[in-house]
Amino acid sequence: MEEQKYMFLSEEDSKVIDQQIPPEEIVYDIADLFKVFSDMTRVKILYALSSGELCVYDISAVLEMSQSAISHQLRVLKQAKLVKYRREGKIVFYSLADSHIHTILNQGLEHVQE
């Protein structure tokens, strides 16, 4: 049996790969974004909101959790710019910030189901 030898990257190839890595501050922001997705409750909230606009009461009923727990997680999702909100009188309605969030959820689901 012939032994395969590993060939290390040339300095030129290494530089090309390094140039494809975003700047440090962008990588930091991406890591922060993915940290938000590390909590099951937040992911469930995002899935609930992917069906449309909901208020805290509705989200808490769907997830069978307290309104204060949902509000806390929504605050994190707002800070991460994953959800947006609008006020109608005393009621605040939440929705996904944009179509990218829906795409991230769908791609995550596809990935884990492979």
Q: How is residue 89 annotated by DSSP?
A: T
pLDDT value for 8: 86
Asked whether the beta carbons of 35 and 28 are under 8 A apart, the reply is no
Mean pLDDT per 10-residue segment, the chain (114 residues): 78 90 94 95 97 97 97 97 96 96 95 94
Q: What domains sit in the chain, N to C, each tagged with a CATH number?
A: 21-113 (1.10.10.10)
Q: What angle do CA 71, 89, 94 make, to 5 degrees?
A: 35
pTM of the model: 0.85
CA atoms of 91 and 109, how far apart (whole Å) = 31
CA atoms of 57 and 66, how far apart (whole Å) = 9
